[in-house]
Structure 1
């Protein structure tokens, strides 16, 4: 029987969702480059009415300025960044040290599901715009958002409370008003 040293066994690098910034409104350009390299990515998009040459036009545009999520390995992303200098990691500080923002798969899956509904009443927020400490963890039962988990909170400037799907340190989406009978409180 032949044994192989554990140092010789090739270890597969984990794939993560990285929250990235693309300044100068180049998000869609970077998305196209990533798509060409077959690197999975996600840009939250929404419909917006703008005036173009004196006419109102409905456009599909990035919902959050300069934000893209990339799903790949760290080494693959570093290699891609060598040719795309304006793609930057989003970071947060832990004990004074910058840490790359890595989004857990389940959080990203829920965020993408909500974004893909193209609900016109979705509100994209920065995490500091809501007080999550006062919220209750809930799950939506039924409708377009069936199974989505979030935090039931009051959103500033809105009359009713809404379910918010959060990506820590990056962004949040406030879902349009949800009927109370479709909300289940999650107990830990």
Structure 2
């Protein structure tokens, strides 16, 4: 997590936000911010939903109240004022009311990794156990060229996955072709 101490209110950052609206709200936070032309990233997954007795497959947020907005405090302030259920997440144990931000390079790397996969597996930090981490690897070639991280092993699966993390927030395991994997020791 990066700090915004000493920055201006007009500088753009990836703010970690929370959306306290109901899960069936017509205009969830990420759609509201997109409508206001703010760049938003919300980790999504496919889910079967039933409306009027008809099952449909649609994308829904992995974590209902988590979204990331690339904006400035000055641009977000009026939106947060009119939408009280859309809020900043704040740094714990830090300066009082310091909004959480993610470094742009970490966020762009994470977004690219998620978008490069049809089946990303998301994990909260507490869900990642030490026995899931295997060898340290680098990807050579393909969509994730030069990505480094840990090879994730899930019991009973033969699929090779690279773990890409947003420290203390979220991680994603992305399927990689074994021919692109180079072990690092």
TM-score range, shorter chain: 0.7 to 0.9
Q: What is the match of residue 166 of structure 1?
A: 165
Shift in alpha-carbon separation, 1:137–1:77, aligned structure 2, 3 A: farther
TM-score, L = length of structure 1: 0.73
Task: Give the greater-gyration-radius structure (CA).
Answer: 1
Equivalent residue runs for 1:10-21 within 5 Å: 13-21=10-18
SS at match of 2:84: coil
Mapped to 2, the partners of 1:83 and 1:47 lie a distance apart of 30
Shift in alpha-carbon separation, 1:83–1:69, aligned structure 2, 3 A: same
TM-score, L = length of structure 2: 0.74
Gap runs ≥5 in structure 1? 1-10
Equivalent residue runs for 1:33-182 within 5 Å: 33-94=32-93, 99-117=98-116, 119=118, 121-131=119-129, 134=133, 136-155=135-154, 159-160=157-158, 162-176=161-175, 178-182=176-180
Gap runs ≥5 in structure 2? 1-7
1:97 positional shift: 5.8
Alpha-carbon displacement from aligned partner over 1:35-61 (angstroms, at most 9, x marks no partner): 232222112223223344444321122
How many positions carry a matched residue from both structures?
Answer: 174
Tell me, yes or no, if the aligned pair for 1:163 and 1:175 is still in contact at 8 Å: yes
